[in-house]
């Protein structure tokens, strides 16, 4: 399958988040393909309007920091950050350069390299990638993957074209784990998932 082109990512986060459903995230681990089909995403920032759930907005009033600079750069790059002192989260930069805009990959349906995933996760198959920290662990995604160009042919991680999910199979709801984020950002329905897929996070 072909890698998604930069033009796919160079759109508002909400559009990309929805269209990423059914696409395949692949990571090369010890020379082997490890990955799965994306079944859940979340959009952050999306427009020039403020989104206090987004790192690129709340941390420095919409200005880049050392941590968030990649979010303000060209689309199609990875933004990987550490949270709760133990978990890595994999995001993809979207939209126009100069604005913080990204999509968090929340869950995958495992399709390739399951033995590798099992070795790193040591959990039942349904729990290998049904959450953002879980999928990062299963695909061995960490700080070394931050700022990678997913469109570069030599990149060790990328997203391939895949299934087109019908509109009536896509559900939306509030984003998860936003802590003390105030309204209306706490309840904005910018989380997208494939209805009925068993790998959607709980």
Q: What is the pLDDT of residue 202?
A: 80
Total structural domains within the chain: 1
Q: Within 10 Å of residue 107's Cβ, how many Cβ atoms?
A: 24
Q: What does the mean pLDDT of the chain come to?
A: 93
In angstroms, the Cα distances linking 79 to 65, 170, 195 are 13, 25, 27
Residue 117: HSE in the Cβ half-sphere, 13 Å Cα cutoff: 27
- pLDDT surpassing 80 at residue 61: no
Mean pLDDT of 126-152: 97
- Domain annotation covers residue 178: yes
* Domain interval for residue 139: 6-194
**116 domain-assigned:** yes
Confidence at 27, pLDDT banded by 50, 70, 90: very high
Q: What is the pLDDT of residue 60?
A: 59
Whether the predicted pLDDT of 59 surpasses 70? no
Q: What angle do CA 84, 150, 95 make, to 5 degrees?
A: 80
Query: Measured between alpha carbons, how far is residue 152 from residues 3, 155, 184 in Å?
Result: 9, 5, 37
Identify whether the C-beta of residue 163 lies closer than 8 Å to the C-beta of residue 37. Answer: yes
User: Which of 121 and 47 is assigned the larger pLDDT?
Assistant: 121
Is 140 part of any domain?
yes
Q: Which CATH number does the domain housing residue 99 bear?
A: 3.10.300.10
């Amino acid at each position: 399958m072909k890698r998604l082109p930069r033009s796919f990512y160079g759109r508002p986060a909400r559009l990309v988040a929805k269209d990423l459903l059914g696409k395949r995230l692949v990571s090369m681990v010890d020379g082997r393909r490890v990955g799965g089909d994306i079944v859940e995403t979340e959009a952050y920032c999306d427009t020039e309007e403020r989104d206090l759930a987004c790192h690129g907005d709340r941390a420095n009033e919409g200005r880049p920091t050392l941590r968030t600079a990649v979010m303000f750069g060209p689309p199609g790059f990875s933004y990987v950050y550490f949270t709760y002192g133990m978990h890595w989260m994999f995001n993809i930069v979207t939209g126009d350069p100069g604005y913080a805009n990204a999509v968090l990959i929340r869950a995958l349906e495992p399709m390739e390299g399951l033995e590798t995933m099992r070795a790193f996760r040591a959990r039942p198959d349904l729990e290998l990638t049904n959450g953002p920290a879980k999928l990062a662990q299963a695909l061995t995604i960490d700080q070394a993957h931050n700022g990678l160009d997913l469109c570069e042919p030599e990149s060790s991680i990328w997203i391939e074209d895949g299934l087109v999910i019908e509109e009536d199979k896509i559900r939306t709801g509030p984003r998860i784990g936003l802590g003390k984020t105030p309204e209306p950002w706490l309840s904005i329905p910018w989380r997208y998932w494939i209805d009925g897929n068993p790998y959607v996070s709980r």
